[in-house]
């Protein structure tokens, strides 16, 4: 990059906001899984929305592409500048303030670089709940979570990120600031442009702030880990606990014995919670009204009588609750330690989960000897992480495995990504799994908002 351009950037973001030292830029240039590595002229770390706007103006003028980056925990490599000759990474990490919290109105306004755990903490300190929860919450930022429309483990009750955003602030590629930091629950004044940015994966502009919904903090939680003989029983149990617990049910998370065994191998110190069974469901409900635990216990007792479940353990304390959750939340990290895998973040109708998993597992393990299916996820949302651990030296089969899995997903009229997004990892698959009309509409939106194609080239579309 020319010194003059560097100077221009430095004038805006200051010395602390401009990173060019290769040792420091390296962490911004690879994705969380280490599958993609790219290059950039520099990493820019602006400290305010106005600085983001000025950076964008310079980039437009100098024909420099912009790759926004949050906590870099994305699983679709959307924040990695791959194959771009003139690009910067724009990191929001210095914009991490809580702008305001309205406890009476149940809203919080934050900078986009705020880490999710910080938002949860601020809400908690104000006797409120910000419900979005996922294993990367110590690093993932609100801007990244909005840009990917993240899901996580409480979608069943509270919805994914889209359901939690009331207002948004974003900077357009040409540097204009869109100020929609409104806390309104109802607002029908024209097109709701913020919805375009939710799930846009950095391809339309830079999200710089958001107003988020808060909820009452449930005073009690009931958490159980249940062992099951088959997936049909898991779906049946989901129906039973939904009926018994109603809207208090917040999580219904699935994992297999293979996932549990993987944890035992890679997370020393975890004590096996139940004897081995093919499948497990982690069920949680929360409420401030009495009788929650009794309702869960009674639902599980009925399920036991009907032989829908094989075994169960209920958390007695918050430490036990955390220990049960660890079995679910550490799977991704254990999978990474185990070695390379082909990840599939699919959704199908909840009642189709047993047939989908059975058919896809049989197809993959028969066609690719030595592979091991690791299926887990958010059963209550119909979202299965149908990951396939590759056979040693089998990296080359990854794309073929994905083709087999996605073909079956299409037959079930499912989606090839329920929550992680398209990014660079699934870009070619999107074209095969959305109609010409849908793709044309997406391209029209992209070129209306980003006519020069400067925002995150190579991601999504
Ligand atoms: P990044 O990875 O930095 O970026 C992701 C995308 O958003 C990129 O395309 C980037 O360009 C864009 N972007 C980032 N910030 C901005 C911004 N301010 N403006 C515009 N575009 C921006 N995801 C789930 O949905 N559910 C889960 O349960 C879940 N669990 C996870 C568990 C682990 C252990 C890990 C590592 C990841 C998990 N993820 C999960 C994926 C990941 O945490 C989410 O996709 C998250 O939303 C990414 O946030 P981030 O700040 O790290 O974004
Ligand atoms: C989860 O549900 C995350 O734990 C990560 O979405 C899934 O590792 C994965 O594929
Ligand atoms: Zn998930």
Task: Establish whether residue 79 lines the binding site of ligand 1, counting it when its CB lies within 6 angstroms of any ligand atom.
Answer: yes
- Write out the DSSP string of 3-47: HHHHHHHHHHH-GGGEE--HHHHGGGSB-TTS--B---SEEE--S
Tell me, in angstroms, the distance from the centre of ligand 3 to residue 150's CA: 9
Confidence of residue 391 (pLDDT cuts 50, 70, 90): confident
Tokens standing for residue 197: 């940015």
- DSSP designation for 86: S
Element (H, E) at 171: strand 165-171
Task: Establish whether residue 377 lines the binding site of ligand 1, counting it when its CB lies within 6 angstroms of any ligand atom.
Answer: no
Length of the chain: 461
122-315-282 Cα angle (round to 5): 80
Residue whose CA is at the smallest distance from ligand 1 atom 47: 145
- DSSP designation for 247: G
Q: Which of 332, 338, 339 to mutate for ligand 2's pocket (most ligand atoms within 8 Å of CB)?
A: 332
Q: State what percent of residues in the chain have pLDDT above 70.
A: 100
Q: Tell me which residue of 106, 80, 110 sits closest to 98, measured CA to CA.
A: 110
**When comparing pLDDT for 234 and 1, which is higher?**
234
What pLDDT digit, counting tens, does each position of 100-120 carry?
999 999 999 999 999 999 999
Ligand 2 first shell, C-beta below 6 A: 75, 135, 331-332, 335, 343, 377, 385, 387
Residue 417 has pLDDT above 90, yes or no: yes
CB atoms within 10 A of CB 326: 16
What pLDDT digit, counting tens, does each position of 119-149 carry?
999 999 999 999 999 999 999 999 999 999 9
Local structure of 233: helix, strand or coil: helix
Residue 1 has pLDDT above 70, yes or no: no
CB 108 within 8 A of CB 214: yes
Confidence of residue 396 (pLDDT cuts 50, 70, 90): confident
Q: What distances in angstroms separate CA 359 from CA 64, 132, 179, 349, 404, one per listed residue? A: 46, 32, 48, 15, 11
Q: At what angle do helices 292-305 and 231-245 cross, to 10 degrees?
A: 140
Task: Establish whether residue 66 lines the binding site of ligand 1, counting it when its CB lies within 6 angstroms of any ligand atom.
Answer: no
Residue 198 has pLDDT above 90, yes or no: yes
What pLDDT digit, counting tens, does each position of 145-187 carry?
999 999 999 999 999 999 999 999 999 999 999 999 999 999 9
């Amino acid at each position: 990059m020319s010194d003059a351009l560097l100077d221009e950037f430095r004038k805006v973001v200051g010395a602390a906001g401009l990173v060019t030292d290769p040792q420091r830029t390296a962490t911004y240039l690879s994705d969380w899984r280490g599958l993609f590595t790219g290059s950039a002229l520099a990493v820019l770390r602006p400290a305010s929305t106005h600085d983001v706007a000025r950076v964008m103006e310079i980039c437009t003028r100098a024909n420099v592409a912009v790759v926004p980056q949050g906590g870099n925990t994305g699983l679709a490599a959307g924040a990695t500048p791959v194959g771009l000759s003139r690009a910067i990474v724009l990191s929001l990490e210095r914009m991490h303030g809580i702008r305001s919290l309205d406890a009476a109105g149940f809203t919080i306004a934050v900078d986009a670089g705020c880490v999710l755990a910080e938002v949860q903490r601020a809400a908690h300190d104000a006797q409120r709940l910000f419900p979005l929860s996922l294993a990367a919450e110590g690093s993932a930022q609100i801007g990244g979570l909005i840009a990917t429309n993240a899901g996580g483990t409480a979608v069943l009750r509270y919805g994914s990120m889209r359901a939690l955003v009331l207002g948004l602030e974003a900077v357009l590629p040409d540097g204009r600031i869109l100020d929609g930091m409104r806390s309104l629950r109802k607002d029908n004044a024209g097109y709701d442009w913020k919805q375009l940015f939710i799930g846009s994966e950095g391809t339309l502009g830079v999200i710089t702030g958001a107003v988020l919904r808060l909820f009452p903090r449930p005073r009690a939680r009931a958490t159980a880990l249940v062992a099951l003989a088959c997936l049909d029983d898991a779906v049946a149990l989901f129906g039973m606990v939904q009926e018994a617990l109603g809207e208090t049910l917040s999580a219904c998370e699935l994992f297999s014995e293979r996932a549990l065994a993987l944890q035992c191998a890679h997370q020393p110190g975890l004590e096996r919670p139940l004897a081995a069974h093919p499948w497990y469901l982690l069920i949680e409900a929360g409420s401030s009204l009495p009788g929650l635990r009794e309702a869960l216990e009674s639902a599980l007792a009925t399920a036991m009588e009907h032989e829908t479940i094989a075994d169960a353990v209920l958390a007695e304390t918050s430490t036990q609750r955390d220990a049960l959750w660890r079995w679910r939340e550490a799977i991704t990290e254990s999978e990474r330690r185990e070695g390379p895998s082909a990840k599939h973040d699919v959704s199908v109708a909840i009642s189709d989960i047993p047939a989908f998993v059975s058919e896809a597992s049989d197809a993959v393990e028969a066609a690719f000897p030595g592979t091991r299916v690791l299926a887990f996820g958010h059963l209550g949302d119909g979202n299965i992480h149908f990951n396939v651990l590759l056979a040693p030296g089998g990296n080359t089969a990854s794309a073929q495995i994905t083709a087999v899995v996605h073909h079956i997903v299409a037959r079930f009229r499912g989606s090839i990504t329920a929550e992680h997004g398209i990014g660079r990892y699934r870009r070619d698959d999107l074209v095969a799994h959305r109609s010409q009309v849908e793709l044309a509409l997406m391209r029209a939106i992209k070129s209306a908002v980003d006519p020069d194609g400067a925002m995150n080239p190579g991601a999504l579309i």
